[in-house]
Structure 1
Amino acid sequence: MISDDRSQLQPARFYTARIGVDGDGVHSVDFTGTHPFRQPDGSVYPPASAGDGKVVDPEELRVDPRGCQYVWAQEGDRPKSSSDPVIQPSIQFAGRTGEYRGQHPLPSNYRITTGDWGIRRNQSVEAITFGAWGGLLTSAVEGPLIQDGPVPDLERGALIRVTQQNRSGQMWGQFAYPLEKIFAPSDPTSPWGPDTGVPAILAFPDDPDRYLVLERTWVAGSGYKIRLYDATTRGATDVRNMDSLNGQQVVPMRKELVADFDDLGLSTIDNTEGMTWGPTLPNGEQTLVLVSDDNFVEDAVTQIVALGIR
């Protein structure tokens, strides 16, 4: 499990744990270790206050099915001020104790650029997954690129980009995924606007075109809306050569609602941002294990949820 601490509390890191899951639910979460991610020179990543432009914002961690090394994504930073450094997003390879093992090439339109172009601040590469038994690495940006149109509002959703690449980084395809519109108006007294995006995707191992897609939305006064979709790239327009999706006629990925967390009877619904396949149950159901991000604040929780997928 990856921490999204930008080395402010401790060096950017990940944890290992054993999670007890069966047909009766989640029984235990036992942490077994932690390791910092290492830079190429072996040092840990510094906090933003160091001012050297080497900050990372860890968001997703996967185990490579071929060789069991780790692959992790960090979304970089589009600075608020022109005097601050641009931190590009990256997908990196790491050993089992966090040592640097190289980088996976990103599509050129995943870069943070100046002006009205490129990835939005804090809506970068947050979702990665292996498919085709490890032959494909798929990534998704959390929100729409600036040139692809505005972020979702109460009237309309938005298109984000999902990219399939082989293990060497060669692009197999890039597709538009339709993000839902905002589900409720914001509390007008809040200084914070709504926040929505795709924090995680998960490939079906035996179908390179099929994914579970997690959509997470927060609205001031209404809390979180967490929805899980079954989506496919089959039949969708390959948009890799389209500079902008704004106003273009494209066929997006088709999706079908699998679960709305409001319907699951959970004790609370929080900032769910991670998911992975769990064990297969005796009744044939495949478990799906999800985790929330508490943002290091006291009024949020780190919540483990297990679902049975038929």
Structure 2
Amino acid sequence: MTSSLTRRACAVALLLTSTLAPAVAAAAPPGGPGQRPGHAVQARLIGERTVAHKLAFQGTTVGGLSGIDRNPCTGEYVFISDDRSYLQPARFYTAKLDVDAGGVHSVDFTGTHPFLQPDGSPYPSPALGDGKAVDPEEIRVDPHSCDYWWAQEGDRPKVAGPPVVQPSIQFASPVGDHFGQLKLPANYTVTMEERGPRRNQAIEAITFGAKGKVVTSAIEGPLLQDGPEPDVNNGALVRVTQQSRDGRVLGQFAYPLEKIFAENDPDSPWGPDTGVPSLLAFPDQPDRYLVLERTWVAGAGYKIRLFDATTRGATDVRAKESLAGQTVVPMRKRLVADFHSLGLSAVDNTEGMTWGPDLPTGERLLILVSDDNFDQGAITQIVALGIR
């Protein structure tokens, strides 16, 4: 999620001087009632590396990296930038990562391309006000073709007048050519009748499962009709949707987002900011996901948590117009890692993650990236975890 530069600089400064509140208790283990939860997932830090701030590469400014995936056809990684065509056209990068059980040794960018509209032109800046701008947030490599599927949040204007830009999941070639887009569930639609995703809280997370046959997406925060955003006393429910590749909804479930971990600084002009920026299907378990939760609180900084979650046993809510006041069985989840316990040099705005290759240790490599929003006070951090 893109935030203002002022707030981001404030966040980093406060993070260095404040003490975080204790982590919430671990959530219930995956598995429906009466089912064994399966093996607990464990995570350990393998290494990290920081990309130079505003690195110049092939006529572009590297930054705002909010999504990452590994291309099985090339072995390279692809990153999506959330630059909304303010600095350069909305785009993605490819890179070679030298990562093994000994750490993250190098990050070498190899290419960049803009995403193209159906007419072959790059996406314009929102400043034009023509309703064609996009807000890129997530990218996945199609395991069937190695083309790219990418998600963008669209825009719900703060005031009446500017056009609504609907969120979308689009298809692109490895050089950015527009191939089409996925039909989304009706409740993903932004309406001016106070329904649908909140501003800057639409689709930030997509993943392929079931060997590429199922596409799962998550709304970052609760839909307007599903109730208020989390606070220090209560969490919230966000919708996670499984679809076929042609857009048919296979199921929709309520994921329980954690409550805010600390009180917001009352003197800050910015309120707390929390949501689901990424999720990742387990390779051989189509109903099981790693879910990333990212929270920022003025006066406390960032808290990044990774959860093991499942749709097994959860209520299918696709037909529920609203979740507010409804009795539903949410997805079950278990805490895998609180990033403050991993030994990282800094905990920043981590928004993207992907599986890497298996390690000789028997662990699966997990690569994560933080979004610096092009702010001098933030970092582009590549983190490697070993998942067992």
Matched residue SS, 2:187: helix
TM-fit CA distance, 1:115: 2.5
- The root-mean-square deviation of aligned C-alpha atoms, in Å, is 0.5
Matched residue SS, 2:247: coil
Per the alignment, residue 157 of structure 2 pairs with 79
Matched residue SS, 1:133: coil
Q: Report if aligned partners of 1:143, 1:197 keep a CA contact under 8 Å in 2.
A: yes
The match for 1:226 among 301, 304, 307 is 304
Paired amino acid for 1:232: T
Q: Report if aligned partners of 1:216, 1:272 keep a CA contact under 8 Å in 2.
A: yes
Cα distance in 2 for partners of 1:304, 1:82 equals 39
Percent sequence identity is 73
1:127 is the counterpart of 2:205: yes
Per the alignment, residue 184 of structure 1 pairs with 262
The match for 1:4 among 73, 82, 86 is 82
Q: Report if aligned partners of 1:65, 1:133 keep a CA contact under 8 Å in 2.
A: yes
Per the alignment, residue 326 of structure 2 pairs with 248
Cα distance in 1 for partners of 2:286, 2:189 equals 25
Q: Report if aligned partners of 1:21, 1:279 keep a CA contact under 8 Å in 2.
A: no
1:269 is the counterpart of 2:347: yes
1:201 is the counterpart of 2:279: yes
Cα distance in 2 for partners of 1:137, 1:294 equals 27
Per the alignment, residue 215 of structure 1 pairs with 293
Per the alignment, residue 113 of structure 2 pairs with 35
Cα distance in 2 for partners of 1:26, 1:251 equals 40
Matched residue SS, 1:147: helix
Matched residue SS, 1:134: coil
The match for 1:168 among 215, 229, 246 is 246
1:139 is the counterpart of 2:217: yes
Runs in 1 of length 4+ with deviation above 6 angstroms?
A: none
Aligned residues: 310
Matched residue SS, 1:196: strand
Q: Which moved more, 1:111-120 or 1:164-173?
A: 111-120
Q: Report if aligned partners of 1:62, 1:71 keep a CA contact under 8 Å in 2.
A: yes
Cα distance in 1 for partners of 2:302, 2:105 equals 25
Paired amino acid for 2:301: G
Partner deviation per Cα, 1:270-310 (whole Å, 9 max, x = no partner) = 00000000111101100100000001110000000000000
Cα distance in 1 for partners of 2:196, 2:383 equals 34
Cα distance in 2 for partners of 1:168, 1:15 equals 27
Matched residue SS, 2:134: coil
Cα distance in 2 for partners of 1:26, 1:180 equals 30
Structure 1 residues not aligned, in runs of 5+? none
Cα distance in 2 for partners of 1:136, 1:158 equals 25
Matched residue SS, 2:225: helix
Matched residue SS, 1:255: strand
Q: Report if aligned partners of 1:2, 1:13 keep a CA contact under 8 Å in 2.
A: yes
TM-score, structure 2 as length reference? 0.79
Cα distance in 2 for partners of 1:237, 1:54 equals 36
Alignment of 1:63-74 (within 5 A): 63-74=141-152
Cα distance in 2 for partners of 1:49, 1:179 equals 33
TM-fit CA distance, 1:11: 0.2
Cα distance in 2 for partners of 1:49, 1:307 equals 39
TM-fit CA distance, 1:217: 0.1
Cα distance in 2 for partners of 1:153, 1:305 equals 28
Per the alignment, residue 15 of structure 1 pairs with 93
Partner deviation per Cα, 1:193-219 (whole Å, 9 max, x = no partner) = 000000000001211100000000000
Cα distance in 2 for partners of 1:205, 1:252 equals 22
Cα distance in 1 for partners of 2:232, 2:361 equals 41
TM-fit CA distance, 1:116: 2.3
Cα distance in 2 for partners of 1:96, 1:295 equals 24
Partner deviation per Cα, 1:206-247 (whole Å, 9 max, x = no partner) = 111000000000000110000000000000000000000001
